[in-house]
Every structure is written in C-alpha cells, then in structure tokens.
Amino acid sequence: MSSARLPVLHLFVRNFDSPNSIKFSLSCRLACFNCECRLSMEYKWRVKKSERGITLENFIYKNLGDWSHKQVKTAIDNKRAFVNGQNVFISKWNLKPDAVVLFVPSDKDQITKTNSRYRFIDVLFEDTYILATNKPAHVDFESYVKTVQDYLVRQNRIKSYPYVGQMHRLDKETTGVMLFTKKKMANSLADQFRDHSLKKYYLALVDGRLKRENGVIKKSVEKGQFESGKKVKVSDSLDSKKATTLYTVVERYRSATLLKIEIKTGRTHQIRVHLSDMGFPVVGDKLYGLQGGIPFRRHALHAERIDFKHPVTSKPMRVTAPVPPDMQRLIDEFRESA
C-alpha cells in the first residue's frame, strides 16, 4: 500500500442559535494506518437569567462537564475566555444574564500536571520542630504544601508523607516567608497567628507617588463574591471583620512608591484591598489594581519578614526572605527612571 498522504480534511460546524451551542473545526491528515490530528475547539454559550452572578469558572466548568476546576481556571488564566467579545482572565468574574461566553482552549489546556511546579524549596530556617521557606511566585498554596512534603520525604528518607502543619497562607502570586511545623507539639505557633502577637512585614510596589511618609489603615473587610471577581471589599456590614494595615514609604519613584507594610491582622487580600481603597493599588494586581496601570506579570507583593517566638524553645526568631529577582528588576527600573 502506498504511503502517500491523503488530502487534508476540513470540517466546520457552526450553530450559534442555541444557548448552549458548540463550534468546532477539525484538521486531519491521514497516512496509511497512521493519523496525525490537530483539533481546535471553540465553545460558545449564552448566560441564562437563572445563572445571574455565576462565576466565569463555574459557568465554563458546568457546561464542559469533563474538565476539572483547576484545568478551567488555568485556561482562563491563559486568556482563553471571552465575555461579550472582551478577553476576561479573572476566573471569579461574575456573569450577567444574556452575556455571551466564548471559550477557546488550546490542546494543552486540559493536560493535568501531576508534578509540583518546584521540586526543591528555598529553606530559610529549619530545625526539628519548624520549617521556614521562601515561597516563589505563581505557585498555589496546595501545590506548594505538596512540594514541602516531598522535600521532607527526601530529607528524612521515608516513604510515607511526614507531618506538615500549615500555619498560614500566601496568595498564588505573592512571594516570601512561609512557616510550617514539622511536629504537632509545635502547633502552638498557630496561637501567635491568632492573637496577632507575631509580626509580619511585607514589601509592596504601588501605583502612584504617595506623599505621606507613613500611615495606618483601619478599615473592616468583608469576604464574598463581588463585582468583577473580587473576593474581598472594604465594608462596615455585620459580616465584615476588623483589619489593620500599617505602611511606611521606603522609596519614591516617578510613578510608583515602594512601601514597607506591617499587618496587625491577617485577613484575605487585606493589603491589596486596603491599598486599593486608599487609591494606591499594588502594581500588577489584576483584581484590585488600576485599569492601564504599571504593567507587571503578577502583583508586586513580597512577604519579607516574620518575627515570632519559637513554639518549643520560646527563643525570639526573625526569618527574612530576599526580594525576588523579578520584583528587584522592577525596582531597579524605577530607580533608573526616577
């Protein structure tokens, strides 16, 4: 039988009259008993009245059926979703009735990665009871905990997963100090987080030139699903919780300011929401930032330092994480253009 390749077959199906219609195109080359296919799909739906307020991620997940939430979110992060013709890369974006959602995944978006993004971790301090690490950017909390577990398995040469006490969290894009306990007897460290006796310091680059040298932001915040995918907002409602953020100017640039932040409370997105409400959002913040603000691939927020008492020895501890390279480069660019 000849091995000559057959002509390319193109198949196009379009039907957007139905609210849950699908368009797809298929290009296929056949050669003897071999087949090399490239499949590209576009999904298009219209939001029903009963779906008012549903998030973009949940809407796509519900309509696809065979994708995981993580796969859908990754595709949205990769700018594969459009709402009424506009690219939307915020997975928690709330949809309105009659909105048209277009989803254009690549053939790689549904591949599930089983390995952690980082096999090795940057250890800042470690003893028998606690572990302090320097978390990199773009790693979600669950994946990072798995990486820490893998590290302890290699260190202790054991087959089962060791104990890892999760004391606090950092957002996916935030870098810096994270504390874990290695033994349950050290879990009293969590009390220092709850009673706010330990001190947490951050560095933040914000849009705009802040005139005040320092200040205190005392505004309650509320968690929920709000407009444009926001998870937290400043609020005085009964569901809100007190939040206090202290800031000091480190350096001023032409269009930005470097701040040292101390938080007295540890509310979700507290720093980002407080600074945005003050009119100086964190550079690169997709949720709470400015439209057309200073471009940066993530929000420029770094958990620089934690001061605490060792949960077993009561020794005063200070753990510091160096500024990550991408944020340092941005600071250097601001300094050169100042």
Domain CATH code at residue 14: 3.10.290.10
How many domains is the chain built from?
A: 2
**pLDDT tens digits, one per residue of 4-19:** 333 333 333 333 333 3
Residue 319 lies in a domain: yes
Model confidence at 265: pLDDT above 50: yes
Whether residues 31 and 157 fall in one domain: no
Whether residues 62 and 175 fall in one domain: no
The vertex-218 CA angle with 214 and 222, nearest 5°, equals 135
Residue 118 lies in a domain: no
Weakest mean pLDDT among 82-91, 112-121, 155-164, 175-184: 112-121
Whether residues 93 and 174 fall in one domain: no
Whether residues 210 and 257 fall in one domain: yes
Centroid of chain to Cα 10: 39
Whether residues 254 and 301 fall in one domain: yes
Whether residues 289 and 323 fall in one domain: yes
Residue 109 lies in a domain: no
Smallest CA-to-CA distance from 95 within 53, 142, 155, 148 is with: 53
Percentage of residues in the chain having pLDDT higher than 90: 50
Residue 203 lies in a domain: yes
Band (159; pLDDT cuts 50, 70, 90): low
Helix H or strand E encompassing 56: helix 56-64
Centroid of chain to Cα 108: 20
| Annotated active-site residue in 171, 207, 239, 277 | 171
Instruction: Give the pLDDT confidence score for residue 81 in this predicted structure.
Output: 92
Weakest mean pLDDT among 59-63, 100-104, 262-266, 332-336: 59-63
Whether residues 290 and 144 fall in one domain: yes
Residue 117 lies in a domain: no
**Phi and psi of 300, rounded to 5°?**
-85, 75
Of residues 203 and 20, more confidence is placed in 203
Pairing mode of beta strands 301-309, 175-181: parallel
Active site residue 171: yes
Q: From the CB of residue 34, how many other CB atoms can be counted at a distance below 10 Å?
A: 9
Whether residues 154 and 235 fall in one domain: yes
Distance (Å, rounded) from C-alpha 96 to C-alpha 49?
Answer: 8
Whether residues 291 and 151 fall in one domain: yes
**pLDDT tens digits, one per residue of 40-72:** 468 889 999 888 999 998 899 888 766 777 888
Which residue range is the domain that position 97 belongs to? 9-103
Residue with tokens 């340092």: 328
